[in-house]
């Protein structure tokens, strides 16, 4: 059973929600109530509110963390046009090239796949900065900051340097997709209506903390 999302912040224009791993952000033909979009829509209905549901960005289904919603399409466009700061905590396997570094490698759709991405000279520019926070047996805890926002960017970049996410069965050991070691822990942006700088964090979830403890 999925954990329930948590409302982290709300004002007249934006909503910040903590998404559990395993939940889609956007609805599909089969899924709406069990998506983050559906959760927000129901939250507004229960509160007798009628704003729009406008996700500013998405997270992969098996990534946990903070997601930003706008309540008006105009605000969504304004937020999409600014440099929203997004930082992640990741559990990775392998040995990183350095304790701190920048992975600057373009990303493209992998030929023959509608889902998988790869590093390719023909791809779009992609930049990820990382800091190694600590080694826990065969797993390393890493902080990452996105310079761009390509699909699967962190997963592709880490795999490209021989350090795929823990339990990433698309870019690491092949297998069915499930919870992997990625958590969007920090979000910072300028509220476009008030001009106020807002910053939020959400601690590493208990399931990933347990993996680190097991690896010690």
Residue 119 Cα distances to 28, 107, 115, 133, angstroms = 28, 5, 14, 25
CB 124 within 8 A of CB 106: yes
- Smallest CA-to-CA distance from 64 within 24, 101, 32 is with 24
Residue 60 among the catalytic residues = yes
Cα 182 to Cα 63: distance, rounded to the nearest angstrom: 5
As given in the structure block, the two tokens for residue 208 are: 């990933």
Alpha-carbon distance of 2 to 75, in angstroms, equals 30
Which residues, listed in sequence order, are joined to residue 101 by a DSSP beta bridge? Answer: 130
Catalytic residue among 11, 34, 60, 104: 60
Nearest CA to 67 out of 91, 36, 94, 90 is that of 36
- Catalytic residue list: 60
């Amino acid at each position: 059973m999925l954990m329930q999302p948590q409302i982290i912040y709300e004002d007249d224009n934006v909503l910040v929600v903590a998404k559990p791993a395993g939940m889609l952000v956007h609805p599909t033909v089969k899924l709406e109530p069990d998506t983050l979009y559906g959760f927000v829509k129901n939250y507004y209905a229960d509160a007798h509110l009628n704003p729009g549901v406008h996700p500013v960005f998405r997270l992969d289904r098996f990534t946990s963390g903070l997601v930003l919603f706008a309540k008006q399409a105009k605000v969504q466009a304004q937020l999409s046009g600014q440099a929203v700061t997004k930082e992640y905590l990741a559990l990775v396997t392998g040995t990183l090239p350095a304790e701190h570094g920048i992975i600057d490698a373009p990303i493209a759709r992998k030929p023959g796949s509608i889902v998988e991405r790869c590093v390719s000279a023909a791809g779009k520019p992609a930049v990820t900065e990382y800091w190694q926070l600590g080694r826990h047996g065969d797993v390393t805890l890493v902080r990452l900051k996105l310079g761009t926002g390509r699909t699967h960017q962190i997963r592709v970049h880490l795999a490209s340097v021989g350090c795929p996410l823990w339990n990433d069965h698309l870019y690491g050991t092949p297998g069915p997709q499930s919870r992997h070691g990625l958590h969007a822990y920090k979000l910072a942006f300028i509220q476009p209506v008030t001009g106020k700088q807002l910053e939020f964090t959400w601690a590493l979830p208990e399931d990933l903390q347990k993996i680190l403890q097991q690896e010690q």
